Amino acid sequence: MKKRFLVFLLTIIAVFTLTSCSKKFTVTFNSNGGTSIDPVEVKKGKTVTKPADPTKEGSEFDGWYLGDSKYNFSSAVKEDITLNAVWKVKTFTITFTTSGGSSVSPQTVEYGKTVTKPADPTRVGFDFKGWNKGDTSYDFSTPVKESFVLRAVWEEKSDVNYFTVTLDANGGTLPSGESNTIRVPEGGTIGTLPTPTREGYKFDYWTLNGIAFNTNTEIEENITLVASWTKEGGTNPGVYTPKWEPNQQTGGWKADQLEFKILVLPVEQFDPFNTNYTGTSQNIKQRHQRDVESKYGIMISYVNWDDSASWGPSRIKYIKDNQPSGWFANNDYYVVNIASSWIPTLVSAGCLAELAKIDQQGRVTEGIFTEIGYVETPTGSKNYVPGTYQQDTTNNQVASTSQRVYGYIQGSVRPDYFMYFNENLIAECALENPAELWLKGEWTWTKFEQYVNELQTALSSKVSSDGSKYYALSVGYAEFIIGATAASGVKISTSRPSLGLTSPEVINKVTQIQSLRSTSAYEPRGVEDVATSFVQGRSAIVHGDLWFIDDASRFDPAQCTFSIGAVPYPTADGQGGTPITTFDSNEAILDANDNPLELVKDSGEYIKGLDLSNSSFLIPYTSTSCYSVLDTKNGKQKIDNKIIFAVMYDLYDGLGADPDVAEVEEDEAYRNWLLTKFDHEIYADVIMSVQGKTYFELLDLISMTAGGGSHFGPNGFWVLASKICSNSTISAATELNSIQPAYEQALRDMGYNI
């Protein structure tokens, strides 16, 4: 009996199991207006195979959903279910090409909706007649089903003279619907040019007579523009190639002929299209700028500072007066070339865009610098991959306040804190050239004091035609204190931070300068950057910066008809360095007369360098020229701070090598640039000799901050230095102690803990 019952029970279990395992469920697909998908039967516990995506006109398939959640096709089916298709409406971009007219922003339109008719564009010398799609007038009530381009139709005015611009695609093909001729009114500009295509080639830019063409050029005659091409997959020998393709890191932003103005002075030092351009590789820089303009859809122009902003304080005021109102952005100004020492003042007024955050060592931690940049990988390969912009850490500190960077500075730190002298006047006095004394290791403080006295003795008999005296020294007091203190091996203030204004070493150096000022060798002077007497040839030694040379506002070449030399500030006694010598005259540095420089006259031992490795000498790096972005959160055509920096970075750092010029190392390139500044090589060699002895001196920034944006404000160091040095009865220690609290507060205002 028990055996029969057991058999019966096993039979029941088997039947139940077979019935359970064979149970099936139905998976239904609801396409919600899309192409239909047949339902599928699935055994319990099995998965359903994902069907091919359905399609639906005007929509993009987003996936199958069970309830509110996207269905996981690896899930076991345990019941009947219905999967619903979810759709997203397709959007399309409508681009407006105005063919030289005012720009019209593109529109994003959903499938089936209509394009909003924009305000009519304008164009000098033409009447606007409407918009065409292809060759047909566009009906703005037509539902949109694709992306397309609308082209402005223009009619020439009868009372205007026109010229023809012919486009030669040079083996390529113009876009469909584009004419190879453009009519432009006399004095008008072309505006946006079409981009041709050519199999196996990349379009570079349009050229006129072999030079990259500026679409902002006024047309005064019939011209032919020729397309420039580069073979894909490499570079053409002798053809310029940028380091990387511009505008690859802005998320697809591209303007429609947006003006992009950069404020500088003087324009001829910056603008490669200026007829008086003074820089190098003009043709290459022109080509590169046109490439950047084409990729971004912008027109770059360099503009001189307004006459009311002729120098430091007035430029700071000009920016502070115009930035808050939006005047700069409204008039297409996005970048300013300024002194880095202005940054704290302009930032406190809300004028500049933050580019990066840095740590106390100047290393970038976050910001735009981490979003825009390329890195050469491996080093020396000329292969650039997306990375982080690596600005020199000292440059980051110089161009920052409160550990936030607001300035863009290319290349390595290059000290620019020198004495400049009238080479001809010193030679006339029969004294040895200061640069030669430097390279001999003899330009020390005691030697300098003796030299100044001898120079003044020789000059004392000279009187100008108007009765004015001659002077050995006309050095700015503040610059003299900063430069001479550093040269003696003492830092006044550093980014640690520290403030040594009241240290015995600083007080001693200020007292020495105060004593020099009381002699007849030192011209009684104010606080101007360059003494008038130097420009007129009546004083021998001044302070200056490299950019002063040939600048009409400083060492004006029209007045400085003499040769200008440069030398560092004098070292402490016994710290002049050790000359590096050779008996091969071909290895020697050339002296001021362009002869091999001898250690001792007629010795046959020549100088080829100066070893400062055991010298206490330092040269301060205080402030430098930098590019800053005028804070633009959401400007015309959605331009913003990141895009503005990207344009600058691609324009300057992205510049490739000149294929017609041999490449050189960075130091050699810098020396070559120095040679363009001076009449004799020795001054370039002197400046190169101190490249490894620089440090970041904060006093310049502290003075600007404490002075309310000016060195000449109530607590500005330039005013204090003048007060001390101009009166030998004043105690340097007392005056420096009096300013210490204000300068400590300025450091705190700049974000330093002191």
SS3 content of the chain, % helix, strand, coil (to 5): 25, 25, 50
Domain 92-257 has CATH 2.60.40.4270: yes
The string of pLDDT tens digits covering residues 522-575 is: 998 765 678 899 999 999 999 999 988 987 778 989 999 999 999 999 999 999
* Per-residue confidence (pLDDT) for residue 526, from 0 to 100: 60
Q: Does the pLDDT of residue 9 top 60, yes or no?
A: no
CB atoms under 10 Å from CB of 305, counted, come to 20
The string of pLDDT tens digits covering residues 103-147 is: 888 899 999 999 999 999 998 888 999 999 988 999 999 999 999
617 vs 278 pLDDT, higher one: 617
The string of pLDDT tens digits covering residues 236-260 is: 555 678 999 999 999 999 998 899 9
The string of pLDDT tens digits covering residues 18-56 is: 444 468 999 999 999 999 999 999 998 899 999 999 999
The answer to whether residues 124 and 188 touch, using CB atoms and an 8 Å cutoff, is: yes
Q: For residue 670, what are its two tokens?
A: 């810098």
* Per-residue confidence (pLDDT) for residue 528, from 0 to 100: 63
Q: For residue 264, what are its two tokens?
A: 């500088």
Q: Does the pLDDT of residue 635 top 70, yes or no?
A: yes
Q: Does the pLDDT of residue 617 top 80, yes or no?
A: yes
CB atoms under 10 Å from CB of 689, counted, come to 20
Q: For residue 402, what are its two tokens?
A: 């409160």
* Per-residue confidence (pLDDT) for residue 217, from 0 to 100: 81
Q: In the predicted model, what is the mean pLDDT of residues 366-387? A: 93
364 vs 256 pLDDT, higher one: 364
Q: In the predicted model, what is the mean pLDDT of residues 165-171? A: 93
Looking at the chain, the whole-number percentage of residues with pLDDT higher than 70 is 96
The string of pLDDT tens digits covering residues 486-521 is: 999 999 998 778 899 999 999 999 999 999 999 999
SS (H, E, C) 454-506: HHHHHHCCCECCCCCECEEECCCHHHHHHHHHHHCCCCCEECCCEECCCCHHH
- Reported confidence tier of residue 14, pLDDT bands at 50, 70, 90: very low
Q: Which residues make beta-bridge pairs with 263?
A: 303, 336
The mean predicted confidence, pLDDT, of the chain is 91
Q: Does the pLDDT of residue 663 top 90, yes or no?
A: no
DSSP label at 90? -
Q: In the predicted model, what is the mean pLDDT of residues 214-221? A: 84
Helices (H), 134-222: none
> C-alpha dihedral over 230, 234, 239, 245, to 10 degrees?
70
Q: Where are the domains of the chain?
A: 21-88, 92-257, 261-352+354-405+631-656, 418-577+612-622+673-693
* Per-residue confidence (pLDDT) for residue 310, from 0 to 100: 76
Q: In the predicted model, what is the mean pLDDT of residues 226-244? A: 75
Q: Is 21-88's fold the same as 92-257's?
A: yes
Q: In the predicted model, what is the mean pLDDT of residues 87-93? A: 92
CATH level 3 topology of 418-577+612-622+673-693:
D-Maltodextrin-Binding Protein; domain 2 (3.40.190)
What kind of architecture, by CATH, is found in domain 21-88? Sandwich (2.60)
The string of pLDDT tens digits covering residues 289-335 is: 988 998 999 999 999 998 888 778 899 999 999 999 999 999 999 99
Q: Does the pLDDT of residue 743 top 50, yes or no?
A: yes
- pTM value is 0.70
Q: Does the pLDDT of residue 348 top 50, yes or no?
A: yes
Q: Which of 79-93, 207-221, 337-351 has the lowest mean pLDDT?
A: 207-221
CB atoms under 10 Å from CB of 581, counted, come to 16
